[in-house]
Amino acid sequence: MTVTTYKSGLKVPGPPPAPIFGRAANVFLFAKDSIGYTQKLFQTYGSVVSLVEGGGTNIYSPLPNCPGTVFAYGSELVRQVSTQHEIYYKHALTGKLYLKKDVSPRTEPLKHFAVGLFGVNSDQHQQHRQLLMPAFHKQRIESYRNDMVAITQSILDQMAIDKSCDIAEVMRLLTMRIATKTLFGCDISESGGNTGRLIQDVLSLLGRPAIALLPFDLPGLPYHRLLDLMAQLDEEMRAIITRKRAADRDDGDVLSMLLQARDAESGVGLSEDELLGHVSVIFAAGHETSANALTWTLFLLSQHPEVAADLLDELESVLQGEAPTIEQLQQLPLLERVIKESMRVLPPVPWNGRVTSKPTELGGYALPQGTEVFVSIYHTHHMPELYPNPEAFNPQRWETIEPTPYEYNPFSAGQRLCIGAAFAMMEIKIVLAMLLQRYRLRLLPQLRIDRFGVIIMAPKYGMPMVVHQQDRQFAQGVGGVRGNVREMVTLSEY
């Protein structure tokens, strides 16, 4: 295969630039459908591929010079990227917008928003992770159980019987309330709960293409609105931190513990900007990913009536209609297998993005310093040599398989394994256990479900479902699903 070079020097094979719009068209196609577009690239060029032949693209990296964008999948490549901590760096979730942090006083929040553990590397990452670990200790996570149950009960009480609702929005609200309560100590329905909504609004704006296309601070443009919201969020967050510092006690929430965290050797704690960065990342990661994991799992259960029936049998046998205790969560093996299989087939986070800190090699190809590398969690999870019949939703497979962290990594792997993974699993289990015992969710007929998003994979048009009292009529609403979700999981035609 002949590989032409762009000025970047990237020599990984890939498609040529589009005839009219050039490299911008390739970037657009990836942003429009990252999984479908790269599926074709992998089939054509192999397990390591460039977005554009010769490089010259930049999707994620906030560094001034990016030689190009490379995609990879497969357990060995996942292992290389996730374990070579000093080579494959992570950066702020704001991506290229991070470069604008010093443009004006209004852009200063970009120095910390969505930075957190994503924006630190090497020894600094290890130090920050150690400071955060006590907030995610097993006992600490278990202490959030009562809040999770109370908020879930509140949401379930508001769901109207025999009416349709967008279950994706319901799950988003539920996980936002849990994230706000556990992070700040207040529900969004309580005084001070506006902080969670502000973070959500900022995150929603960040995902809009107009932000990247028109990053100008002019009234009427989304970027101007983004900076307005960030300023408001900064003011509220700093006020919360000031109040909690003055109280000087552990109120049981994550922020209270982070305020008291100190390095074991130096005694140094986190600065206010570092606190703001960590809280925004924890909120973003813990809220959106859990909401989509729940949404996709409820969708899969609605289309697999036998699995849904078996799962309800297990839940009712152990819980008898009640919310699970910490001890009972360990007595629900099918619930665990259902969640694992859901996150294998339809992972809420399909990509793991990194940037090379020095020249390196991946899959036999040289990568210049600054190359952005996206490892596909989704395509690795769909390799038939790892998971026979990979598009089948089959929770039973987990009775006999034990994949390595590089073969199955919905929460990433290596030193950057998601710090909130245990929190997320407990949250997802509690919500599903309570919801499924009380309600049956029926998918609307002939619904179109398309995947959407790069950082988070969500249903593009939401997930409209009719809420019924749990009557075990699981066969209702099965089949007739349209959209590209059918490329990802085997579904009934009728």
DSSP state letters, 255-287? HHHHHH---TTT-----HHHHHHHHHHHHHHHH
What's the predicted TM-score (pTM) here? 0.93
Answer whether residue 29 is part of any domain: no
Per-residue pLDDT, 190: 55
Q: The tokens of 442 are what?
A: 């029926």
Answer whether residue 328 is part of any domain: yes
Domain count, the chain: 1
Answer whether residue 37 is part of any domain: no
CA gap 330, 438 in Å, rounded: 21
**Are 81 and 372 contacting, i.e. CB atoms less than 8 angstroms apart?**
no
Residues of the chain where predicted confidence (pLDDT) is lower than 70:
1-8, 188-193, 494
Per-residue pLDDT, 216: 92
Q: What is residue 115's DSSP assignment?
A: T
Closest to 321 in 3D by CA, of 421, 226, 436: 436
Alpha-carbon Rg for the chain, nearest whole angstrom, is 22
Closest to 279 in 3D by CA, of 347, 391, 195, 163: 195
CATH code for the domain of 353: 1.10.630.10
Per-residue pLDDT, 189: 57
Per-residue pLDDT, 39: 97
Per-residue pLDDT, 251: 84
The continuous run of DSSP H or E covering 351 comes out as: strand 351-356
Answer whether residue 109 is part of any domain: yes
**Are 126 and 118 contacting, i.e. CB atoms less than 8 angstroms apart?**
no
Answer whether residue 52 is part of any domain: no
Per-residue pLDDT, 268: 86
Answer whether residue 224 is part of any domain: yes
Answer whether residue 442 is part of any domain: yes
Structural domain containing residue 430: 58-487
Count Cα neighbours of 452 within 13 Å in the Cβ-side half-sphere. 13
Q: What is residue 17's DSSP assignment?
A: P
Length of the chain: 494
Q: The tokens of 270 are what?
A: 């986190």
Answer whether residue 101 is part of any domain: yes
